[in-house]
Amino acid sequence: MTPRPALNRSLLALAGLVLLGGGLLILFAGFDLYRRHDLVPPAGWPLTAPADVLLGSADRAGWSSQGWWWPAVIAALVLAALLALWWLLAQLSRRRPGSLPVGGTPPQEGVELRDRALADAIATEAGALPGVDDATVRITGRPAHHRTRVGLTLTPEGAPGATLGALCEGPLRTARRSTGLPDMPTEVRLHVARHKPHRAE
C-alpha cells in the first residue's frame, strides 16, 4: 500500500468514527433512549435528554469572555480549512501517468500511448496465458516514474513460477518494446481461483 492511500484511509476512518460517535450521541438524546430503556450514561456525559445542549448560555458567555477564546477559535477554523483544502487538492492531483511515450523518451513525433490502453493490452495478453483464469492491470505514477501493478488469478492447476516467467517474457516484454522504455517497474500479485463445487448425481 502506498503512503497516500494509507493516509487517506486513516483520515477517512477517523472522520467516520467521529461522525458515527456524534450521530449516535445526538440520536440517543433526541429520541430519549436513555430514559426509555433505563440506561444510565456516564457522569458528565453530554446530551442525555432531548432538551440538552452542548454549551448552555452560561458556558458560552464564560468562554467568550476569555481574551484568548475568539483568536483560538478563528485559528482552529482556519487551520481546519487549510488542511481540508490541502487534502482536496491532493486527491485531485493525477495519480496515473495519463499517457506514456512510444518509441523512447522523448516520444518520437509526439506519439503517445494512453496508460489505460496499455493496461488493457497487457491484461488481455496476460489473461490468455496458460494457467491464468483472470488478469487485471493498473498503471500508476507519473510518465517518468510509473509503476505497473498486475493481479493474476491462477487456475487451481496453474504454476506460479511458470506463469511469472511467461508474464515477463510475454506481455511485459511486449509492453516494453511498444513503449521503448528500458525498464517497467512491475508489481505482481498472484491469487488462486477456488475449485467450483461438483454436484454428485
Integer Cα distance of 43 and 49 in angstroms: 14
Integer Cα distance of 62 and 69 in angstroms: 10
Q: How many CA atoms lie within 13 A of 68 on its CB side?
A: 1
The pLDDT, as a whole number, for residue 1 is 45
Q: Count H helices and E strands in the chain, helices first.
A: 7, 5
The pLDDT, as a whole number, for residue 144 is 66
pLDDT tens digits for the chain (201 residues)? 445 667 777 888 888 898 898 888 888 888 888 888 888 888 877 778 887 776 666 766 777 777 787 788 889 999 999 988 888 787 666 555 666 666 554 555 556 678 888 889 999 999 999 999 999 999 887 766 778 899 999 988 888 999 999 999 999 998 888 777 777 888 999 988 776 554 545
- CB atoms closer than 10 angstroms to residue 173: 12
Integer Cα distance of 68 and 63 in angstroms: 9
The pLDDT, as a whole number, for residue 84 is 84
Determine phi and psi for 133, rounding to 5 degrees.
-90, -35
The alpha-carbon radius of gyration of the chain (Å, integer) is 28
Q: Do the Cβ atoms of 70 and 112 come closer than 8 Å?
A: no
